[in-house]
Amino acid sequence: MARKGASSLHAQRVRTAANVVVQIALATLIVLMLNYLSFSRFGRWDLSRTSKYALSGLTRKFLGSLKKEVKIYVFFSSTGTKSPGAELYNDVENLLKEYEYAGKRHLRVETVDPYRNITRARELQEKFRFGSNDNIIVLDCDGRQKTIRAVDLADYGSSDMFDDNEAPEVKNFKGEQVLTSALIELIQDKTPKLGMIVGHRELSLADNATLDRFRELIEGAHLQIQEISLSGLEKIPTDYAAVILAGPEYDLSTQEIGLLRRYWNEDGRLLVLLNGRAKTPTLDTFLNELGLHPDDDLIVTRVKTGIQEESITLDVYTQILGNASFLKSLNQVPGYFPAGSRSISIDEQRLKQLGIRASKMLTPAVPNYWGEKDDFLHSNANPTFHQGADLSPPLFLGWALEKGSIEDQRVQVRSSSRLALIGNVDFIRDESLTRAAPDVDFLLLCVNWLSEREQLLAIAPKAPHPYMLDLTPIQMERILFLTVIGIPLLVAILGTAVWAVRRQ
């Protein structure tokens, strides 16, 4: 009996030990699974007020589609506060964390402090041959490299931004704009090319004082742009992703219109910006063939300049419409189109006959604009709205046309003709693009759509938003009372209560 009891007790101990081992194993497995899920299956939310480091749709989609491994080396020192770009250390660090997360396993970021990690810094300097400068970012992909200076990631407010005695003023942080553009340039095999027609007193790239910002934006989107003359050509080269006609003062010839017509019929892409102060009947006839009718008017309105004074303005504050799929991100956003705009109507029957889909892009933001038919610029007359003669709202000064596409906008067909017609050219001048950030986004979205890059969205720079508490005198008195009297009094009361309890 004693032997049987001992055997039973041993078996019970074995079962207990096995049960403990199984429990420990299951607990370990659960912990490992939870850790794995927390590292690989987690969500991120940007709860900040300005979403300063939230990535745009372009960047997330681009990083999610990476097939090659990309390495980003950040040569930044948190201690080198006097070196150019040092004030962007936190911004760059936080932004690249978002890049690494969005790029998943295809993007890796390594931060090297050139003052602390001297050996690693020298090793990478020899590999990429960039010298001994700090505050730079090196992108490396498949044997190709691109170096970015930290100071290129922001717009500064003063030319003396690196004065040792004064902290630089950061107007805009454009880190995502610069980094994503650099990555696209590094990875894509060929840079799309745009042609800009010249020869009719259009806005010219040669005039840097006029289109310097325009060129910077186009090249920043990693598109090449060059001027092209239609005179003497037999055909517009097919290697252009799109062709731009920017406000001709003189009309195009019949031969040049024939080139544009052929280019359109062969799935060409056109961005046509009209000069509101010029007469171009041959160009208008070509647009009429496509179902577009640029009206012979100027969009004007009256603005108050005093208590009882009014004046006429040619500047049009617009509302960008999201009817076109590529403009949905700017739906209802205000734009600024200065110095003269023509309104544009459409012939729906003609468009249907040609199989062209038309989408509204721009309309005046308020209904008190009208289309003035009188040539008041030359007569110096004071324009007044005449019912039946002038054009009444609603007016439209921007249309997008596409031929050969499928109505379902979720399906993208590459073999289609596209045209963006805007009744204003002055909005691409430097003073306008610098003044109105939505115009920049609108321009880039149009160009990306025309060049078959509608998956690319405009990335606008992010301006710092300082927040100030605007307190009334009464609120200030309440805060003073709470901090100087209220809190010490509360502590005294609690101390007295504790003392009284202990005395009992």
Residues 6+ apart with CB under 8 A from 373: 296, 297, 386, 389, 390, 391
**434-442, Cβ contacts within 8 angstroms, sequence gap of 24 or more:** 434/213, 435/336, 436/335, 436/336, 437/461, 438/320, 438/330, 438/333, 438/334, 438/335, 438/336, 439/335, 439/336, 439/337, 440/217, 441/329, 441/330, 441/333, 442/320, 442/327, 442/330, 442/335
Residue 467 pLDDT more than 60? no
**How many Å apart are CA 50 and CA 68, to the nearest integer?**
32
Q: Is 337 helix (H, G, I), strand (E, B) or coil?
A: strand
Residue 89 pLDDT more than 70? yes
Length of the chain equals 504
Q: Which of 270-284, 325-339, 425-439, 477-491 has the highest mean predicted lDDT (pLDDT)? A: 270-284
Residue 465 pLDDT more than 90? no
**Better pLDDT: 19 or 6:** 19
Give me the mean pLDDT over the 231-241 stretch.
87
Percent of the chain with pLDDT over 90: 16
Percent of the chain with pLDDT over 70: 82
Residues 6+ apart with CB under 8 A from 13: none
Residue 315 pLDDT more than 80? yes
pLDDT at 1: 53
Q: Which of 112-126, 144-158, 306-320, 420-434 has the highest mean predicted lDDT (pLDDT)? A: 420-434
Using the structure block, give the residue that is written with the tokens 């321009």.
Answer: 443
Strand partners, 149: 136
Residue 73 pLDDT more than 70? yes
CATH number belonging to the domain at 191-450, selected among 2.160.10.10, 3.20.20.150, 3.40.50.720, 3.40.50.880: 3.40.50.880
**How many Å apart are CA 379 and CA 381, to the nearest integer?**
5
Q: Which of 37-41, 57-61, 168-172, 427-431 has the highest mean predicted lDDT (pLDDT)? A: 427-431
Give me the mean pLDDT over the 84-106 stretch.
81
Residues 281, 251: contact at Cβ < 8 Å? yes
Give me the mean pLDDT over the 350-360 stretch.
91
Give me the mean pLDDT over the 322-351 stretch.
87
162 confidence band (pLDDT: 50, 70, 90) = very low
Residue 177 pLDDT more than 80? no
CATH number belonging to the domain at 57-186, selected among 3.40.30, 3.30.70, 1.10.3470, 3.30.1460: 3.40.30
Strand partners, 140: 71, 145
257 confidence band (pLDDT: 50, 70, 90) = very high
pLDDT at 349: 92
**How many Å apart are CA 288 and CA 228, to the nearest integer?**
24
Q: Is 313 helix (H, G, I), strand (E, B) or coil?
A: strand
**Better pLDDT: 217 or 45:** 217
Burial degree of 228 (CB within 10 A; 0-12, 13-18, 19+): middle
pLDDT in tens, 105-141: 888 888 888 778 888 888 887 787 776 666 788 888 8
| Cα angle, residue 439 at apex, residues 432 and 467 outer, rounded to 5° | 90
pLDDT in tens, 18-28: 888 899 999 99
Task: Count CB atoms within 10 A of the CB of residue 171.
Answer: 15
pLDDT in tens, 373-420: 887 777 677 778 888 888 888 999 999 999 875 544 444 444 588 999
Listed range (48-62, 199-213, 252-266) with the worst mean pLDDT: 48-62
Residue 333 tokens, joined? 């956003």
CA proximity to 46, closest of 85, 102, 108, 86: 102
Give me the mean pLDDT over the 69-83 stretch.
75
Q: Is 39 helix (H, G, I), strand (E, B) or coil?
A: helix
Residue 298 tokens, joined? 């100027």
Task: Count CB atoms within 10 A of the CB of residue 135.
Answer: 22
161 confidence band (pLDDT: 50, 70, 90) = very low
Listed range (60-64, 239-243, 481-485) with the worst mean pLDDT: 60-64
**Better pLDDT: 110 or 64:** 110
Residues 206, 226: contact at Cβ < 8 Å? no
Q: Is 209 helix (H, G, I), strand (E, B) or coil?
A: helix
**Better pLDDT: 204 or 400:** 400
Helices (H), 245-382: 254-265, 281-289, 348-354, 376-379
Spans of all domains in the chain: 57-186, 191-450
Give me the mean pLDDT over the 167-191 stretch.
75
**How many Å apart are CA 359 and CA 400, to the nearest integer?**
5
pLDDT at 67: 81
Residues 6+ apart with CB under 8 A from 413: 404, 405, 406
pLDDT at 158: 52
Using the structure block, give the residue that is written with the tokens 């007790």.
Answer: 9
292 confidence band (pLDDT: 50, 70, 90) = very high
Residue 423 pLDDT more than 80? yes
| Bond prior to 394 in cis (omega within 30° of 0) | yes
**How many Å apart are CA 90 and CA 101, to the nearest integer?**
17
Residue 233 tokens, joined? 């050509």
Put the strands of the sheet holding 136-141 in their side by side order: 107-112, 70-75, 136-141, 144-149
Average pLDDT over the chain reads: 80
